[in-house]
Amino acid sequence: MTTDRPLRELLCTLLRLFYAKDWVGGTGGGISGVRDDGMLLVAPTGVHKELVEPRDLFVVDPKTCGVVEPSENAALKPSECSPIFAAIVRARGAGSVVHSHALSTVLAADITTDDALPIRSLEMLKGIRGLANTDVHEVPLIDNTPREAELTGAVEAACRDRRFASAHAILVRDHGAYIWGADVWEAKRHAEVYHFLFEAVRLRKER
Amino acid sequence: MTTDRPLRELLCTLLRLFYAKDWVGGTGGGISGVRDDGMLLVAPTGVHKELVEPRDLFVVDPKTCGVVEPSENAALKPSECSPIFAAIVRARGAGSVVHSHALSTVLAADITTDDALPIRSLEMLKGIRGLANTDVHEVPLIDNTPREAELTGAVEAACRDRRFASAHAILVRDHGAYIWGADVWEAKRHAEVYHFLFEAVRLRKER
Amino acid sequence: MTTDRPLRELLCTLLRLFYAKDWVGGTGGGISGVRDDGMLLVAPTGVHKELVEPRDLFVVDPKTCGVVEPSENAALKPSECSPIFAAIVRARGAGSVVHSHALSTVLAADITTDDALPIRSLEMLKGIRGLANTDVHEVPLIDNTPREAELTGAVEAACRDRRFASAHAILVRDHGAYIWGADVWEAKRHAEVYHFLFEAVRLRKER
Amino acid sequence: MTTDRPLRELLCTLLRLFYAKDWVGGTGGGISGVRDDGMLLVAPTGVHKELVEPRDLFVVDPKTCGVVEPSENAALKPSECSPIFAAIVRARGAGSVVHSHALSTVLAADITTDDALPIRSLEMLKGIRGLANTDVHEVPLIDNTPREAELTGAVEAACRDRRFASAHAILVRDHGAYIWGADVWEAKRHAEVYHFLFEAVRLRKER
């Protein structure tokens, strides 16, 4: 399939950008994108994300989580967060999901033992689709699990929860965040905005 | 009009620099520059600022805020802060205005509930035109509004306020800062200096 | 010997990356890698690490610490931490050892006067081979000495200590860290993960 | 004079590096280097330091502070810190002097009202020529003045002070630091080391 080449290249370019921002260091984190045919491109697991090339990606069916087209590199396996990427695509119609391992996501989640992190009084809230800067924006916050795929149930519950209808991110305590958008560029914008919001909330709290 | 090409390229180069400094992430913030004919070049709204190209810019009349020359890309709209850029050009004769969404601007504005942030005892004050390092420099600080254009009145009042005659920046609480200079290079210098000053004031306060 | 050229180039590329991350500034820190024949490639001492070139490296026998092939530049001497690199290769079968002078390593070691730094409740622990995110991971912490080679005994003791069987790093108080892996890429991953863990532990402590 | 071309290029390369490190932002700070004939190359004042080109530099006689060769650009004036650069060259035989406007220098100087900042218990002290990691290293700390040239007397006094015989830096309160070495590369190494030390001392103090 030649038509997904630009999407593959864009995902790899963004992995290098996110690596430079310290969001996907130590081989953690990643990004996925939905093709025109509804199939999901995901990076391999356990690789240095800044070095991923277009041909390394897997094609996964978000309905079944099955691999429909393997990486050209037979030694690779698809990202362990593929089931979560797929769940968010199904539940929210996301066109792209970012998984961040940024330290700012962990420290923001530390602020509260509640199941949501409220964010308020920041113009940057407008950077999330549908929000006003006067909103109190509740980001769902779930507990970490020993295996990443075990997060899927809690991710699906957060996606269904009416309190979080406007959220485009889920924080995972001690772990990171899933951030999505209607397409790759909106996911990138949302990722930049949420990282700003998380850091702002933390630094305001510590004041 | 071919003669504004160097200015268009310079504005795009600085957007990439400012993106790398985390001043215009999440599609927020921007920069504008006045052409030789007095018309103002502004970036489109809602786009990733590090990707803006010279032909994407709009030409706006700072007197009327009307678009006199659209972007080549018909899908784009001019930056929402165009009325504020125009107000500062009219009130202060600025040749270029930067709009920063840096976290340091938000955290600096958090320091006080007053309508000005005083800055003192820093050599870097000399980096603002007309200031000595012995000055207590008052930066006007206004409240945020639901829509960016609604800031215009408060921006104009701050520009007229005699207390702020030496200021080349306006802080907007929970939002960011407008920073200007006589030309693009002075606006860049002022932007670098004010971001340093804001961060210095915050870190000294938290000590 | 031509076959070690790719390893030499990789080590120099990573030195430039680590310099950009502020891990090997001021000529401190470094990286070493084991060749197919078991000999160790080490950088020269006292040079700007981001400028090291493949031909500048020394070949050291990790059993004897003797130089078996000098740098092409006769003015250079091998890194002072060569005995420690060699000790970790012998004791742990490491294929590559990173020596970091990052400020985060010094500040993490400041947290405790104990002989180990415990790290817990972080998904990033999974980035260290063999660890689960539910582990309490004990990183050995030794005292600094006037001369770097004098650390060797304490490094060897830490490598033998059963409490630290899963550790792939040793913190040196007031100094930095040694971080290793089975090969250069695992050492890079471990280095990124440990720097994240050290900074997380410090910022959580200061909360 | 053609033989100083490599030195001119090196100084400009380092200005770009120092700009990326936020040491010479807002047109502040700089670097100077002594030519083989003992004359001092200095950057122009009031320019964006990352844009300085080899032909922009001035040649100054460190004995008289007089310009012996102007910049090719007649609109430029030599750096205001030229008298201080010259004083350090005369008093310490420095081959290169860096002037940093890094925020870390200002915050480190804030720690004490004394005339020296003591630094101890850091391996990075070894990065300063002649120091051991067991030394308590006293960095002279002088008060700022309205005009930069007025610092010269205090700089000369600090250079003469026996307490500071091993120092290769002078902190200027509310302002920045002068850091030097026997040649440009040693000045670069000392600059990297001192910025690390200043930040370490501050963060340890705030703990």
DSSP conformation letters of D37-98: TS-EEEPBSSS-GGG--GGG-EEE-TTT--EEE--SSTT--B-TTHHHHHHHHHHH--SEEE
Partner-chain residue, chosen from C123, C189, C207, that has the shortest CB–CB distance to A176: C123
Subunit contact A25:C192, Cβ cutoff 8 A: yes
Residue A51, chain B, CB below 8 Å: the answer is: no
Q: Where are the alpha helices (DSSP H) in B21-148?
A: 82-92, 103-109
Residue-wise pLDDT tens digits, C115-146: 999 999 999 999 999 999 999 999 999 999 99
Instruction: Give whole-number Cα distances, B115 to A158, B112, B127, B142, C169, in Å.
Output: 41, 8, 23, 6, 51
pLDDT grade for A56, boundaries at 50, 70 and 90: very high
Largest Cα span, chain B: 53
> Is beta strand B137-142 parallel, antiparallel or unpaired with respect to B169-172?
parallel
The B residues from 105 to 144 touching D (CB cutoff 8 Å) are: 121-124, 126-127, 132-134
* pLDDT value of position C1: 47
* Chains D and A in direct contact, meaning 3 or more beta-carbon pairs closer than 8 angstroms: no
CA atoms in the 13 A half-sphere facing the CB of B111: 22
Long-range contacts at A11-17 (CB < 8 A, ≥ 24 apart): A11/A41, A11/A43, A11/A52, A11/A54, A11/A57, A11/A184, A12/A52, A12/A53, A12/A54, A12/A57, A14/A184, A14/A188, A15/A43, A15/A49, A15/A50, A15/A52, A16/A50
**Alpha carbon of C145: minimum distance to chain A alpha carbons (Å):** 30
Burial of B99 (0-12, 13-18, 19+ CB in 10 A): buried
Q: Which whole number is the average pLDDT over D27-55? A: 97
Consecutive H or E run containing D138: strand D137-142
Q: Please give the average per-residue pLDDT across B180-186, as a whole number.
A: 98
Question: Average pLDDT, whole number, for chain C?
Answer: 96
Please state whether at least 3 CB pairs lie below 8 Å between chains A and B.
Answer: yes
CA dist B174 and B146 (Å) reads: 11
Look at B103 and A200 and tell me if their CB atoms are within 8 Å.
Answer: yes
Tokens 């399939």 — which residue?
Answer: A1
Place of tokens 């792939």: C168
Q: Rounded CA gap, B171 and A150, in Å?
A: 45
Across the interface, whether the CB atoms of A28 and C124 are under 8 A apart is answered: yes
pLDDT higher than 60, residue C28: yes
Alpha helices in chain D (DSSP H): 5-20, 82-92, 103-109, 152-160, 184-206
pLDDT band of D2, cuts 50, 70, 90: low
Q: Does B132 sit within 8 Å of D144, measured CB to CB?
A: no
Phi (first) and psi of residue C206, to 5 degrees: -80, -10
Span C33-59, average pLDDT: 97
In contact, D124 and D197? CB cutoff 8 Å: yes
Whether residue A101 contacts residue A176, with contact meaning beta carbons closer than 8 Å, is answered with yes
What residues of C are in contact with residue D129 (Cβ under 8 Å)? none
Task: Identify the band that residue D1 occupies on the pLDDT scale cut at 50, 70 and 90.
Answer: very low
Percent of chain D with pLDDT over 90: 96
Of B101, B110, B172, the CB nearest to A204: B110
Determine the residue of chain A that is closest to B29 in CA distance: A124
Confidence band, pLDDT 50/70/90 cuts, at residue B80: confident
Gap between the Cα atoms of A84 and C123, Å rounded: 16
Cα-flanking dihedrals φ and ψ of residue C172, to 5°? -115, 115
With an 8 Å Cβ cutoff, is D28 touching chain B?
A: yes
Residue A207, chain B, CB below 8 Å: the answer is yes
Instruction: Check pLDDT > 60 for residue B123.
Output: yes
